[in-house]
Amino acid sequence: MEPLRIYTERDDVLLREVTPDEKPLLGELAERNRAYLERAKEYGWSALRGARMAKKVAFTVRSSRFRHEMGVWVCGQLSGVVEFRGLPEDGYAQIGYFLDEKMNGKGYMTCALRATASHTFTECGCVCITANVRAENTKSRKVLERVGFSATSEYYSFVNYALPVEDWRP
């Protein structure tokens, strides 16, 4: 089975599932960004956990209609990860993402999240995409807002965002 590919509006950015042979690249990506990830403390997995999991090849890349873990490939190099998953019963999906620190500020993640939103709405039939971001992570919040997400609530140190399909502007 071919890995899922999601094409973006930019020629230099592609979302593609990481194949089993490429799993060690996830560990290398996490290791290169260890300090950055520990500072951000925003992701569902810490740099250490991500590196351990990838090194043990326990980070299983799964794909189903409502769970995708995609590599963000910039100019052919694995530079980040976007995960989106949802519950078919209610039509909601949640996304999480991370980009190599040296790639920040170049529009890569904004491009990747736009393509992810488009795929999630058109191919997965979702009606709303949500994300949770640490309140102090202003860069990540701005990425979501550029894609069209709106802040919906705050919970402890997190801001919850949502993008309903009716607000989506491809």
**Do the beta carbons of residue 18 and residue 25 sit within 8 Å?**
yes
Q: What is the mean pLDDT of the chain?
A: 83
What pLDDT is recorded for position 123? 86
Task: Please write the tens of the pLDDT for every residue from 91-148.
Answer: 889 999 999 999 999 999 999 999 999 998 998 888 999 999 989 889 999 999 999 9
With bands split at pLDDT 50, 70 and 90, how would you rate the model's confidence at 34? confident
Q: Across the strands, what pairs with 154?
A: 159
End-to-end CA distance of the chain: 28
What pLDDT is recorded for position 87? 65
DSSP collapsed to 3 states, the chain = CCCCEEECCCCCEEEEECCHHHHHHHHHHHHHCHHHHHHHCCCCCCHHHHHHHHHCCCCCCCEECCEEEEEEEECCEEEEEEEEEEECCCCEEEEEEEECHHHCCCCHHHHHHHHHHHHHHHCCCCCEEEEEEECCCHHHHHHHHHHCCEEEEEECCEEEEEEEHHHCCC
- Residue 16 pLDDT > 70, yes or no? yes
Q: How far is it, in rounded angstroms, from Cα 165 to Cα 101?
A: 30
What pLDDT is recorded for position 88? 59
Q: How far is it, in rounded angstroms, from Cα 37 to Cα 166?
A: 33
Quick one: average pLDDT of 41-64? 39
Q: Which residue has the higher pLDDT, 68 or 130?
A: 130
Record the pTM.
0.83
Quick one: average pLDDT of 42-63? 38
What pLDDT is recorded for position 64? 38
- Residue 47 pLDDT > 60, yes or no? no
What pLDDT is recorded for position 49? 43
Token pair recorded at residue 17:
């599932």
Token pair recorded at residue 45:
């997995």
With bands split at pLDDT 50, 70 and 90, how would you rate the model's confidence at 41? low
User: Domain segments of the chain: what residues?
Assistant: 5-167
Q: How far is it, in rounded angstroms, from Cα 75 to Cα 77?
A: 6
- Residue 44 pLDDT > 70, yes or no? no
Q: Find out if CATH 3.40.630.30 is the number for domain 5-167.
A: yes
